[in-house]
Amino acid sequence: MSVSTGDISHLQSANAGSSGGAISASGITSGVKNNVWPDIDATSLAAGGTTYRKTFWKNTNGTDAMLAPVVYTPVMPTNATLELGIGYDSSSDDDAAQGNMTAFGANAVVGLISDGADTRTATIYGLDASNNPVSEAVVLTGASEVLSATTFSKVWMVRLSATDGSRTVTVRQGSGGTTRGTIGPSKLLCFLWVTAGTAKASGIALPDLPAGQNYGVWRKLTWTAGAGTVRPNTLTVQIEENG
């Protein structure tokens, strides 16, 4: 048995204006003006700009997982672009600049290397070589590169088990390969910004969401100078089972 629509709660993040951090208990009501985005004033519209928000989807079902959920954007904003990234339920995930990953150019294992003594666990979320959503935990061995067992076609996010005030972890495409992201000192993760598109097939496909657990989603809204009125209130971001 899978979850129903009523089992999935859409919640704000804890920082002011739902701008990052851990999950909150404050719900987001669909169809309500400014339920996620603030109004964009005329000066900002003329100049162009970018704004960020982070929200969560939580599975409140008592027993059942949400199967292979996909996050996508069935309705896009007017005169702006919207990108999504996968975040995490932690007060340390409060910086949208950690969306510093670039996409893999080919199927490859993930190479992880720290710049010093480091035994934290890194959890990788993405798609395997058959484009199935997967996650894998890899234990770091300091400045010696460690590799995932999984070959990934896409990597959405890499999250560490804890922050470290001095260490930087590099995420590579393959052993000794191209750097695809970094997790800096006092940061918890890095993630890929994705233009998820209006079709579920082009969204961010994720592993099953267990009962009582949540997925965080960063949002980046960008508009160019003089592009015209931006209507973020008309857009929709949603999560659905891939069935």
Residue 79, pLDDT score: 79
CA 223 – CA 181 distance, rounded (Å): 25
- β-pairing, 110-114 vs 81-87, is unpaired
Per-residue pLDDT of 155-168, as tens digits, reads 999 999 999 999 99
Cα torsion 224, 227, 228, 231: sign: negative
CB 170 within 8 A of CB 119: no
- pLDDT (tens digit per residue) in 46-72: 888 899 999 999 999 999 999 999 999
Among the listed residues 86, 135, 141, the one whose alpha carbon sits nearest the alpha carbon of residue 111:
141
| pLDDT in the model for residue 43 | 82
Average pLDDT, the chain: 92
Find the mean pLDDT for residues 125-151: 98
Output the CA torsion sign for 229, 41, 31, 25: positive
Show the domains of the chain with their CATH numbers: 5-91+193-241 (2.60.40), 110-191 (no CATH)
pLDDT for residue 1 = 54
Contact 101, 191 (CB under 8 A): yes
